[in-house]
Amino acid sequence: METKIGLEIHCQLTGAKSKLFCSCSCEYRGKEANSNICPTCAGLPGTLPLLSRRAVELAGMISAALGCTVPEEIAFYRKNYFYPDLPKNFQLTQYNAYGITSMGVDGIMQYGDGKSARIRRVQLEEDPGRLVYEGSMETSPYALIDYNRAGVPLVEIVTEPDFADPKDVRLFLDKVTSLIEHLGVCDTRLEGSVRCDANVSVGGGNRVEIKNVSSFADVEKALRYEITRQNSMASRDIEIKSETRHWDDARKLTKESRTKEEEQDYRYFPEPDVPSIVLGSEFPSLVSRSMPELPDKRKERFISKHGLSPHVAQVLIDNKELADFFETAMSAHYLPREIANWIVNDLMGFVDEQQKEERSILAGLKVTPGHIAELARLVDEGTINRSIAQQVLAQAVKTGEMPSQVVRKTHSSRIDDSDELGRVVDSVFKAEQSAVQDAKSNANAANFLLGKVMAATKGRADPKAALELIHKKLAEQS
Amino acid sequence: MELFRLDAMQVADGIKKREFSAEEYIQQLLERIDRVEPKVNAFITINRKEAIDKARSIDKKVRDGEPVGPLAGVAVSVKDNICVKGIRTTCASKMLENYVPPYSATVVIRLDDAGAIVIGKANLDEFAMGTTTEFSKHGATRNPWDISRVPGGSSGGSAASVASLECAVSLGSDTGGSVRCPASFCSVIGIKPTYGLVSRYGLVSYANSLEQIGPAGRTVADVTAVMNAIAGSDRNDHTTLDMKPDYSSRVPDRRFRIGIVKEFLSGADPEVAKVVYNAADILTKQGCKCEEVSLGSVEYALASYYTIAMAEASSNLARYDNVRYGFEMSSEGYEWNSYYAKVRSNFGEEVKRRIIVGSYVLSSGYYGKYYLKAQQVRSILKQELKSLFKTYDLLMGPTMPILPFKMGEKIDDPIKMYLVDIDTVVANLAGTPAISIPGGFSGGLPVGLQLMADEFQEQTMLDAASLFESVTHVQRSPDL
Amino acid sequence: MAVTKDQVKHLGWLSRIELSDDELALYAGQIETIIKYLDKLDTVPLQEVKPVVASKKFSDLRDDVAVEFEADPLGTSYRKEGFVKGPRMV
Ligand SMILES: [Mg+2]
Ligand SMILES: [Zn+2]
Q: What is the pLDDT of residues B44-86, one digit of tens each?
A: 999 999 999 999 999 999 999 999 999 999 999 999 999 999 9
* Residues A39, A181 within the same domain: yes
* Residues A215, A341 within the same domain: no
Side-chain-side CA neighbours of A293 within 13 Å: the count stands at 11
Provide the number of structural domains found in chain B: 1
Asked if B426 is an interface residue toward chain C (Cβ–Cβ < 8 A), one would say no
- Predicted pLDDT of residue A259: 54
Contacts of C15 in chain B (CB under 8 A): 314, 318, 344, 355-356, 359
For ligand 2, the distance from its centroid to the CA atom of residue A77, given in whole angstroms, is 19
User: In 3D, which of A443, A445, A444, A450 has the Cα closest to residue A467?
Assistant: A450
- Predicted pLDDT of residue A442: 82
Mean pLDDT across A382-404 = 88
Contacts 24+ apart (CB under 8 A), A24-31: A24/A151, A24/C66, A24/C67, A24/C68, A24/C69, A25/C66, A25/C68, A26/A152, A26/A153, A26/C66, A28/A148, A28/A149, A28/A152, A29/A190, A29/A191, A31/A148
pLDDT > 60? residue A201: yes
* Residues A155, A275 within the same domain: yes
Give the gap in angstroms from C-alpha C59 to the nearest C-alpha of chain A: 7
**CATH code, B170:** 3.90.1300.10
Cβ atoms B168, B200 nearer than 8 A: no
The closest ligand to the CA of A24 turns out to be 2
Cβ atoms B407, B150 nearer than 8 A: yes
pLDDT band at B469 (very low <50, low <70, confident <90, very high): very high
* Residues A114, A66 within the same domain: yes
Asked if A277 is an interface residue toward chain C (Cβ–Cβ < 8 A), one would say yes
pLDDT band at B214 (very low <50, low <70, confident <90, very high): very high
DSSP string computed for B177-206: STTHHHHHHHT-EEEEPPTTTB--TTBPPS
* Residues A13, A72 within the same domain: yes
Which of C62, C67, C88 is facing A140, going by the closest CB pair? C88
Q: Which of A244, A264, A286 is a domain's end point?
A: A286
pLDDT band at A419 (very low <50, low <70, confident <90, very high): confident
In a domain, B325, yes or no: no
For ligand 2, the distance from its centroid to the CA atom of residue A18, given in whole angstroms, is 8
In a domain, B277, yes or no: no
Q: Which of A237, A271, A286 is a domain's end point?
A: A286
In a domain, B204, yes or no: yes
Which residues form the domain of B27?
Answer: 3-253
* Residues A353, A434 within the same domain: no
Ramachandran angles phi, psi of A217, nearest 5°: -65, -35
* Residues A132, A39 within the same domain: yes
Q: Which chains border B (3 or more CB–CB pairs < 8 Å)?
A: A, C
Inter-chain contact A45–B332, Cβ cutoff 8 Å? no
* Residues A85, A66 within the same domain: yes
User: In 3D, which of A200, A46, A7, A194 has the Cα closest to residue B87?
Assistant: A46
Between chain A and chain B, how many beta carbons pairs sit less than 8 Å apart? 100
Region for residue C62 given its phi and psi (left: phi exceeds 0; alpha: psi -120 to 50; beta: otherwise): beta
**CATH code, A440:** 1.10.10
How many other C-beta atoms can be found within 10 angstroms of the C-beta atom of residue B440?
19
- Predicted pLDDT of residue B29: 98
* Residues A141, A123 within the same domain: yes
pLDDT band at A462 (very low <50, low <70, confident <90, very high): confident
The H-or-E segment that residue A117 falls in is: strand A115-126
In a domain, B405, yes or no: no
Which residues are paired to C79 by β-bridges? Answer: C84
For ligand 2, the distance from its centroid to the CA atom of residue A24, given in whole angstroms, is 4
Q: What gap in Å lies between CA B303 and CA A195, rounded to an integer? A: 43
DSSP state of B78: E
User: Which burial class, exposed, middle or buried, applies to B269 when counting CB atoms under 10 A from its CB (0-12, 13-18, 19+)?
Assistant: middle
Maximum Cα–Cα distance across chain C: 58
Contacts of C85 in chain B (CB under 8 A): 331-332
DSSP state of B170: E
Residue in B330, B343, B356 to test binding to C, most C beta-carbons within 10 Å? B356
User: In 3D, which of B79, B73, B69 has the Cα closest to residue B228?
Assistant: B69
pLDDT > 90? residue B233: yes
In a domain, B247, yes or no: yes
In a domain, B291, yes or no: no
Quick: pLDDT tens for B355-364: 999 999 999 8
User: What percent of chain A lies above the pLDDT cut of 90?
Assistant: 59
Least confident range of A339-348, A455-464, B191-200, B203-212: A455-464
- Predicted pLDDT of residue A412: 67
pLDDT > 90? residue B431: yes
Cβ atoms A244, A209 nearer than 8 A: yes
pTM, to two decimals: 0.92
In a domain, B288, yes or no: no
Q: Which of A364, A384, A410 is a domain's end point?
A: A410
Inter-chain contact C85–A144, Cβ cutoff 8 Å? yes
Q: What gap in Å lies between CA B179 and CA B435, rounded to an integer? A: 9
Contacts of A142 in chain C (CB under 8 A): 85-88
Which residues form the domain of A349?
Answer: 293-410
* Residues A25, A40 within the same domain: yes
Inter-chain contact C40–B300, Cβ cutoff 8 Å? yes
Domains and CATH numbers, chain C: 1-43 (1.10.20.60)
Inter-chain contact B315–A80, Cβ cutoff 8 Å? yes
Which residues are paired to B139 by β-bridges? Answer: none
Mean pLDDT across B83-95 = 98
* Residues A127, A274 within the same domain: yes
Q: What gap in Å lies between CA C4 and CA C8, rounded to an integer? A: 6
Least confident range of A160-169, A401-410, B205-214, B272-281: A401-410
Provide the number of structural domains found in chain A: 3
Mean pLDDT of chain A: 90
- Shortest CA distance from B330: residue in chain C: C78
For ligand 1, the distance from its centroid to the CA atom of residue B248, given in whole angstroms, is 50
Which of B297, B321, B336 is facing C88, going by the closest CB pair? B336
Q: What gap in Å lies between CA B266 and CA B401, rounded to an integer? A: 9
Which of B331, B359, B414 is facing C34, going by the closest CB pair? B414
